[in-house]
Amino acid sequence: MISLKPLPTNLNSSFFRSLTPFKLFTPKTQTLKSSKSHSHSAIKSVLQWNRKPELAGETPRVLVITSGKGGVGKTTTTANVGLSLARLGFSVVAIDADVGLRNLDLLLGLENRVNYTLVEVMNGDCRLDQALVRDKRWSNFELLCISKPRSKLPLGFCGKALVWLVEALKTRPEGCPDFIIIDCPAGIDAGFITAITPANEAVLVTTPDITSLRDADRVTGLLECDGIRDIKMVVNRVRTDMIKGEDMMSVLDVQEMLGLALLGVIPEDSEVIRSTNRGYPLVLNKPPTLAGLAFEQAAWRLVEQDTMKAVMVEEEPKKRGFFSLFGG
């Protein structure tokens, strides 16, 4: 049994020498030696999220962001994930493959700087570097639009044009980009086939509702038929209050229905509309929003080809006191 005694008032060195279980580390070099092995692991665990993610796979990584259903957040995901990758130090080329209904330039605030498109490049009216619009905030992020608004593609334009574009980006004098992100149009018609032709991996954006899930399941089958096996999923517009009230499917339910690897979960955020109208992506907001942080985490996993796992957490029932029996 341990007994506690008050310390004497006249403390000297002989008193501390009598405490055999304890040692005084008076020399500073001795303290540094003893803590060096433990401090390295502690610093590594604290700073693991401050490091730059390691790029996995061969460059350039060509990925298409698709969904099948319109209005689920494909363009928002392309803008925010693309800029997050640029902020991590990777070179990114974003391609708006929506013919006649492009919106990616609006979300990035670059609508007044798009003078040439891929159609002009294919016709020989301009060079490829003239059609690429470099973002002023992050110089390693570039935008390329396929066509101008309210215009139609020529008859000979198909998926081979995007394959040629990818090969041209690989051999350009500025260097090969690390990521080529293609914003796929809605639907599964010719525009969809054109957008997925050069891609070797896909990010499927869906929302937790039955209409979006049915279209996502159909698109997953079409991607696998085209040879794209690396398919990850982003669940957008998730509301925890509706999930608790059983008015919305949980992320775990969505993952079980589609059977895809989970790249990220984006919560419902009213700041999305504000950032869209301002042409200022969420990931650039200070202080960051919950949706912006979720996009940054999804970009981090995309770089290292990592995924996340949805789990079910059961809440403990609230404890009822004695007075609750009387209605208190």
Instruction: Return the domain boundaries, the chain.
Output: 55-304
Among candidate residues 20, 69, 296, 24, the one with its CA nearest the CA of residue 186: 69
- Measured CA to CA, the distance from residue 267 to residue 239 in angstroms comes to 6
- Rounded to two decimals, what is the model's pTM? 0.80
What local confidence, expressed as pLDDT, does residue 15 receive?
A: 42
Mean pLDDT value across residues 172-182: 95
> How confident is the model at residue 221, as a pLDDT?
96
pLDDT at residue 46, rounded to an integer? 40
**One-letter amino acid identity for 27?**
P
The pLDDT score that the predictor gives to residue 310 is 76
For 227-281, how does the pLDDT look when each residue is reduced to its tens digit (9 = 90+)? Answer: 999 999 999 999 999 999 999 999 999 999 999 999 999 999 999 999 999 999 9
Q: Report residue 69 CA to chain centroid gap.
A: 20
Task: Look at residues 193, 94, 86, 107 and name the one whose alpha carbon lies nearest to residue 146.
Answer: 94
Q: Does 308 or 142 have the greater pLDDT score?
A: 142
Model confidence at 314, pLDDT cuts 50, 70, 90, reads low
Peptide bond into 60 cis (omega under 30): yes
**Tokens 């609750």 belong to residue:** 324
Residue 326: per-residue pLDDT: 60
**What's the confidence (pLDDT) of residue 228?**
96
Name the more confident of 93 and 11.
Answer: 93
Q: How many CB atoms lie within 10 A of CB 69?
A: 21
Domain 55-304 - what CATH class? Answer: alpha beta
Q: Flag whether pLDDT at 297 surpasses 60.
A: yes
List pLDDT tens digits, range 34-90: 344 444 444 443 435 567 899 999 999 999 999 989 999 999 999 999 999 999 999
Tokens of 148: 């101008």
Contact of 72 with 121, CB cutoff 8 Å: no
Tokens of 282: 């969420």
Query: Is 298's pLDDT higher than 50?
Result: yes
The amino acid present at 272, given as its one-letter code, is V
Looking at the DSSP bridge assignments, the partners of residue 95 are 144, 182
Its sign, for the CA torsion 154, 158, 161, 162, is positive
* Mean model confidence pLDDT for the chain: 84
CA distance linking residue 125 with residue 247, whole number of Å? 53
Q: Which residues contact 154 (CB under 8 A, 6 or more apart)?
A: 119, 122
The SS3 of residue 292 is helix
